[in-house]
Amino acid sequence: METGGIKICKGVFLIKAEDIIIRKWQENDAAGVRKVLKLSWEKAYASFIPQTDLDLYLDKTYSESLLRNMFNNPYFICYVAEFENTICGWLKLTMDKSESRFYISSIYVLPEFQGLKIGDKLFNIACEEATRNNYKEIYIGVMTQNAKALKWYQNLGFKFIEEKPFIMGRTSVPHLIGSMILNK
């Protein structure tokens, strides 16, 4: 249940939006980021992507060692949301020089922390980073079956302009690419 920035989990535990800290990620955040990805993907994608494919993609693309390597890549900008030293959200931004595009590659929030506007805060950081890096437009890719995320991005002002397949493990799903002009 949610009331005025306070989320009641299992009727007992209170989380206030102001208790969430958002910071640039650190190399030692890899395990926490993997947990956010795993649990968020299970909630968002399990109805149309088999668990074995979710696990395969997580291990192939976001192992702890690959995440640590990503930390040193200047084309990625990442942030975490944290509550009481536990990572509860992740933002991954990608500067794609070959396409001259700035992508929100990932915004994920643990299911029990959704509804606290963490995604909105991460989105605002993405817009600030795009502007800071001299991009006038920001891009996102969303699986068509992820209706909740698709609606959220549309409400933020994204217009979906193309469709490409996205392969997660052995499963291919339609993936919409959207963009939004940034206001400076």
Question: What is the per-residue DSSP string for 91-148?
Answer: EEEEEETTTTEEEEEEEEE-GGGTTSSHHHHHHHHHHHHHHHTT-SEEEEEEETT-HH
CA-closest candidate to residue 175, choices 157, 156, 150: 150
pTM, 2 dp: 0.88
If you average pLDDT over residues 97-124, what whole number do you get?
93
**What proportion of the chain, given as a percentage, has pLDDT over 90?**
80
Where does the pLDDT of residue 18 fall: very low under 50, low under 70, confident under 90, or very high at 90 and above? confident
**Is it the case that residue 9 has pLDDT exceeding 70?**
no
The dotted CATH code for 19-181 is 3.40.630.30
Q: Which among 92, 159, 160, 84 is positioned nearest to 123, based on CA atoms?
A: 92
Mean pLDDT, the chain, rounded, equals 90
Q: Find the mean pLDDT for residues 26-47.
A: 95
Q: Answer whether residue 63 shows pLDDT above 80.
A: yes
Burial label, 40 (beta-carbon count in 10 A; 0-12, 13-18, 19+): buried
Q: What is the distance in angstroms between the CA of the first residue and the CA of the last residue of the chain?
A: 36
Q: Distance between CA atoms of 116 and 15, rounded to whole angstroms?
A: 8
Q: Please report, for the chain, the start and end positions of each structural domain, with discontinuous segments joined by +.
A: 19-181
Average pLDDT over residues 98-113: 94
How much is the pLDDT for 121? Answer: 95
CA distances (Å), origin 6, targets 13, 94, 111, 121: 10, 32, 15, 16
Backbone angles phi and psi of 55, in degrees to 5? -65, -40
Tokens found for residue 67: 């995440």
Cβ–Cβ < 8 Å for 90, 36: yes
